[in-house]
Structure 1
């Protein structure tokens, strides 16, 4: 377990150092996204915010979230500015109104935040054992202004950025969501 976490911890430490010591980006654009749990009836309780900040290295997403299950969670930008339920095969599905992963170039491919697939593929969201998520992630191909009127989605499970062995990276149900405004 420790052996698997070591590369993640090193990468996160490097990201924090880069963010902390990087000069301000000339076009700083900061957006705060309110995040709520989702269910089949709509939005549930508020669980915090995620701040989006442009840097010269890409978009940094800094969560300040509570009451999530510990571990890695799929984290994506979705197409629509909505977090409510939708219907699939006549059944209500939590967060389905957000649409699919943001894919403006219609790649139809899950390749993660560093590949050439969906722009909405973000690095995984890490949730600590106490249910909090505060570790920033970097999305090098995005900037905040490009995401206006989209949604930010947290999935129940991790994401392997592939359709194998499970569709859409295996992230599973839509756990929490926030609409990205101006």
Structure 2
């Protein structure tokens, strides 16, 4: 297993399975017919400062990608406005408090708002991100979604942060 040294709230940590709780989520390209080719995994571990998401994914477009926990454990397609939408069966962003707000991982909106994933020029991502309001137990029975494009954690100027189409999805077991 990969280990990363991470600075959290001024304290250096080594990410490892030694922290209580963990899950590894297999990620697949979202297609019109359901999950497609595997693109890697995202390992989630509990830390003293929230859930740490450590990606090991490849085959994505370079740049920032919106990253969220979605409400349903389903990466299949769905219908919207008469069109098939890859990954739509995952539902919306996980929002157990019903806030209806998209405020990012440090705000008081959707609990499923995660920091964006950075994908390098070779299409890979392995930089961990921290979700301070989540624990691994919150993710069971949900899905992780990587969107095309970044996310500004606002509904302006574009809805849902302008994150774009659903590109890769994985179910948290």
Answer whether TM exceeds 0.5 for this pair. Answer: yes
Match of 1:136 in 2: 128
> Is 1:163 aligned to 2:155, yes or no?
yes
Partner of 2:64: 72
- Once the two structures are superposed, residues 77-118 of structure 1 have per-residue CA deviations (whole angstroms, 9 ceiling, x without a partner) of 000000010000121001000000000000000110000100
| Per-residue deviation, residues 116-173 of structure 1 (Å, max 9, x unmatched) | 1000000000001111000000000000011100000000010000010111100010
Residue in 2 aligned with 1:37? 29
Using the size of structure 2 for normalisation, the TM-score is: 0.92
What runs of 5+ residues in structure 1 fail to find an aligned partner? Answer: 1-11
* Superposed structure 1 runs of 4+ greater than 4 Å apart: none
SS of equivalent to 1:36: strand
Residue 159 of structure 1: SS of its match in structure 2? Answer: coil
Confirm whether residue 14 of structure 1 aligns to residue 15 of structure 2: no
CA contact (8 A) 2:50 2:134 kept: yes
Higher helix share: 1
Equivalent position SS for 2:12 = helix
Alignment pair present for 1:125 and 2:117 = yes
1:103-114 map, 5 Å: 103-114=95-106
- The residue that corresponds to 2:168 in the other structure is 176
Give the CA deviation at 1:21. Answer: 7.9
Which has more strand, going by share of residues?
2
What is the CA deviation profile of residues 29-84 of structure 1, one whole-angstrom value per residue up to 9, with x for unaligned ones? Answer: 01000000011121110000000000111000000000010000000000000001
Unaligned runs of 5+ in 2: none
Number of matched pairs? 167
Work out whether residues 67 and 117 of structure 2, in 8 Å CA contact, stay in contact via their aligned partners in 1.
yes
- How far residue 14 of structure 1 moved from its aligned partner, in angstroms, is 2.8
Q: 1:86 aligns to what?
A: 78
Distance (whole Å) between structure 1 residues aligned to residue 12 and residue 170 of structure 2: 27
Is the alpha carbon distance of 1:41 and 1:127 closer, same or farther for their aligned partners in structure 2, counting shifts above 3 Å?
A: same
Partner SS, residue 92 of structure 1? strand
